[in-house]
Amino acid sequence: MKLTHRPAVLALALALPLGLAACGSSDDSTDTAASSSTSESMSPSASASESPSGDMMGEPFGAACSQVPASGAGSFDGMSTAPVATAASANPLLSTLVSAVKEAGLVDTLNGAPELTVFAPTNDAFAKVPKATLDAAMADPKGLLTKVLTNHVVEGKISPDQLAGDHKTLGGGTITVAGSGEDFTVGEAKVACGNVQTANATVYIIDGVLLPAS
């Protein structure tokens, strides 16, 4: 009887650790999968870590921003890929300014500059300028008109947190910006839509024309 049962006992003895090992392997893999699943669920997703796209200083601001086209070349995304004069030409708020820039022969100057800040008057802003003054400027494109337009341009890109203060213009004058956050005045004008990015400039759309001191 002993000889008959010994192989069975040996077989059982060999099978038992193998079975336990298999059970342990299954439990380990389950635990590993559960641990991995738990760590993935607890770790922030890529979209969550990136989602607050940063500081609001990087976004355009102001009531008139709602009038900027939502898509196409005149949209914020569209303007960001074009140099400033070209970008402005696609924005319906700035058609009078663009006409004046073309008349003064400043398109290449503005588009070719490495970095600028442009205070861009809206069409309504130009409409508020006395007709005699506007006519005189348009009649002298290389003189008075150029002086008026370059009085709206500052070398270098100025972010909103650096905007307040005095800034030398390309026209040789100085403009004074007051305010903070999303509320700024430029001389007598107000920033209607600020921090608009083009390929080579930061643009602040304003509701008044900055006439140089005579």
The enclosing domain of 190 has a CATH number of 2.30.180.10
Output Rg (C-alpha) for the chain, integer angstroms. Answer: 33
Q: Is there a single domain that holds both residue 95 and residue 27? A: no
| Count of domains forming the chain | 2
Q: Is there a single domain that holds both residue 124 and residue 99? A: yes
pLDDT at position 212 is 83
Q: Is there a single domain that holds both residue 148 and residue 199? A: yes
Q: Is there a single domain that holds both residue 33 and residue 65? A: no
| Percent of the chain with pLDDT strictly greater than 70 | 73
Query: Is residue 126, in this structure, part of any structural domain at all?
Result: yes
In angstroms, how far is the first alpha carbon of the chain from the final one? 125
**Does pLDDT of 102 surpass 50?**
yes
Query: Is residue 1, in this structure, part of any structural domain at all?
Result: yes
146: nearest Cα among 175, 103, 112: 103
pLDDT at position 109 is 96
Token pair recorded at residue 3 = 């000889």
Q: Average model confidence (pLDDT) for the chain?
A: 81
Q: Is there a single domain that holds both residue 13 and residue 106? A: no
Whole-structure pTM value: 0.74
Q: Is there a single domain that holds both residue 172 and residue 99? A: yes
Cβ-contact 125, 206 below 8 angstroms: yes
203: nearest Cα among 90, 44, 50, 46: 90
Query: Is residue 135, in this structure, part of any structural domain at all?
Result: yes
Token pair recorded at residue 44 = 């922030």
Cβ-contact 116, 154 below 8 angstroms: yes
Query: Is residue 212, in this structure, part of any structural domain at all?
Result: no
Query: Is residue 211, in this structure, part of any structural domain at all?
Result: no
Handedness of CA 135, 102, 126, 146 (dihedral sign): negative
Alpha-carbon distance of 49 to 25, in angstroms, equals 36
Confidence of residue 24 (pLDDT cuts 50, 70, 90): very low
Confidence of residue 38 (pLDDT cuts 50, 70, 90): very low
Query: Is residue 19, in this structure, part of any structural domain at all?
Result: yes
In which domain, by residue range, is 195 found?
56-206
pLDDT at position 1 is 41
